[in-house]
A and B are shown apart, each in its own frame.
With several copies, the nearest count.
Chain A
Amino acid sequence: MGLGYTEKVMEHFKSPHNMGEIKNPDGVGKVGNPVCGDVMKIYIKVRRYKGKEVIGDIKFQTYGCVSAIATTSMMTKLAKGKDLDAALKISRNDVANALGGLPPIKMHCSHLATEALEAAIKDYRKTGKKKAK
């Protein structure tokens, strides 16, 4: 079967964007389960820009396969700088397409990536809002 990954996926796997932790994040989202082989953790910093809440910084940590790593990397790249509502509209297909496609069996990874972002934004809205300025 080989891997069936695109060049773009391999690029993001080899040199992931926004990899790491944020020290005092405004929101954190964690999805997945080690039993299933994927865990993604997203950290965001939110700032105000022209009256909107915008993702000022974003970082990720991922445990998982090539496609799990590449999709979180691509997702953070797409989300960075977007206002929160726009960021929430990033669909799993947007992530997959930006990577030039994923093998069908790996599509759930892009789903997890967007879920992780959603969770981080929710976390911010619930708990982080007060901290953000």
Chain B
Amino acid sequence: MMDKVYLDNAATTRVDSEVLKAMEPYFTKDFGNMASLHSCGREAEHAVEKARRDISKKVNGKDHKLVFTSGGTESNNFTLKGVAFANRDKGKHIITTKIEHECILNAAKWLEKQGFDVTYLPVNKEGFVELDVFSDAIRKDTVLASIIHANNEIGTIEPIRELGKIAHDHNVLLHTDACQSFTKVPIDLKKDNIDLMTINSPKIHGPKGAGGLFIRQGVKMEPLLHGGGQEFGYRSGTVNVSGIVGFAKAVDIMKDKHLKHMEKIRDMLIDGATDIPESWLNGPRGKDRLANNAHFSFRHIEGESLIVHLDLKGIAASTGSACSSKSLEPSHVLMAIGLQPEDAHGSIRFSVGKENTKEEIEYTLRSLHEAVETLRKMSPLK
């Protein structure tokens, strides 16, 4: 048995040792409050402003302000509620999709209770939002469209540039949740027609508790966290200096070679797992798939049991099975791409990281074959 094979990098990642090293001075040495008048906060301020510039540069963020937050959930809630409340006079209609992360969906549902109107766009079998479906959904009173950049379950990368073009042609703001794609998919905020974009540190070997929202200059928003006026007044609260410094370091050390490596072992996984009878890959293949995502369905078995079997062999993965969720509902994403509930239950996501080796993938495939066989032997379904 191998030591530990971590294949749940879409959930969260190990903090890179370089990242931790970069953070350390800001805990015990330059720990000052950025908002202070005295020089003790000045090092902290410089570090945060450098982080802001460095991260912005990665996505051509010249026309945007990067506002640091506590993570993806906060950035997404801030976007939906902030834009909706600030633009009530312009319109009360928001468009999003059926395959968003729960934080978008549940914030949208809350807005519906406050009198806003939300359209949840369907997607096709591979998880793509179709352009004409989007443009048909736009109304005169639509103020915002929030469309996930790359899906966290099945890895589909949406055609954000084209969607953004349509949004802008109709004078609608475009937000994209790039928690999964940031640093993995090239993004140019200007060319890609993105007004607002959510990014997240713990998905890219940065610390938990840090995230961000890019806001195009001129976009009207109300804060979600009111208070002392930090972060240009968009997001109050003591600035998490070490978290931000770690986030920027994590962005900095992500290199093309890591992406190439992830794609290679992802494809090993895809080839090896779909060798199992009555199994298939969910989401697209090739360049429209997230570099680190492999998502499968296996007929006649249930995901939680499969996950736990793998866990007993030291392999960490995740499932869209109902049994794994508090609601006992199968994944809304798998339902949206048209899977039958019984097939959704037998689904599993592997998300690779730069640290995974070929040997780990081979071991995982052997274990997966065994586990599926064991569970199928136990299953009354044929």
Contacts and interface: CB of A to CB of B under 8 A. Distances in A.
Nearest to A1: B35
A19 B308 contact: no
A36 B36 CA distance: 21
B236 to A, nearest CB: 13
B228 to A, nearest CB: 11
Interface in A53-78: 61-69
Interface residues of A, number: 27
B34 interface: yes
A34 B381 contact: yes
A16 interface: yes
B308 A61 contact: no
Contact of A66 (B42, B301, B305, B342): B305
B330 to A, nearest CB: 7
Interface stretch (B117-125, B164-172, B318-326, B355-363): B318-326
Given A2-B36, A37-B323, A61 B380 contact: yes
B381 A39 contact: yes
Contacts of A13: 305, 308
A17 interface: no
Given A35-B342, A39-B380, A64 B323 contact: yes
A63 B380 contact: yes
A40 interface: yes
Contacts of A64: 302, 305, 323
A34 B305 CA distance: 14
Chain B interface residue number, banded:
20 to 34
Contacts, number: 79
Interface string A1-31: 1110000000001101001000000000010
Interface in B133-156: none
A16 B321 CA distance: 22
A67 B323 CA distance: 9
B379 interface: yes
Given A30-B380, A63-B301, A37 B345 contact: yes
B308 A66 contact: yes
A105 interface: yes
Contact of B379 (A2, A62, A66): A62
Contact of A35 (B300, B324, B326, B341): B341
Contacts of B326: 1, 105
Residue with the greatest number of chain B CB neighbours at <10 A, chosen from A13, A37, A41: A37
Given A13-B305, A16-B378, A37-B302, A65 B323 contact: yes
Given A1-B35, A62-B378, 13 more contacts: A1-B45, A2-B37, A13-B305, A16-B378, A34-B345, A34-B381, A37-B321, A37-B328, A37-B330, A39-B381, A64-B323, A66-B308, A68-B305
Closest 4 CB pairs of A and B: A34-B342, A65-B323, A61-B380, A41-B380
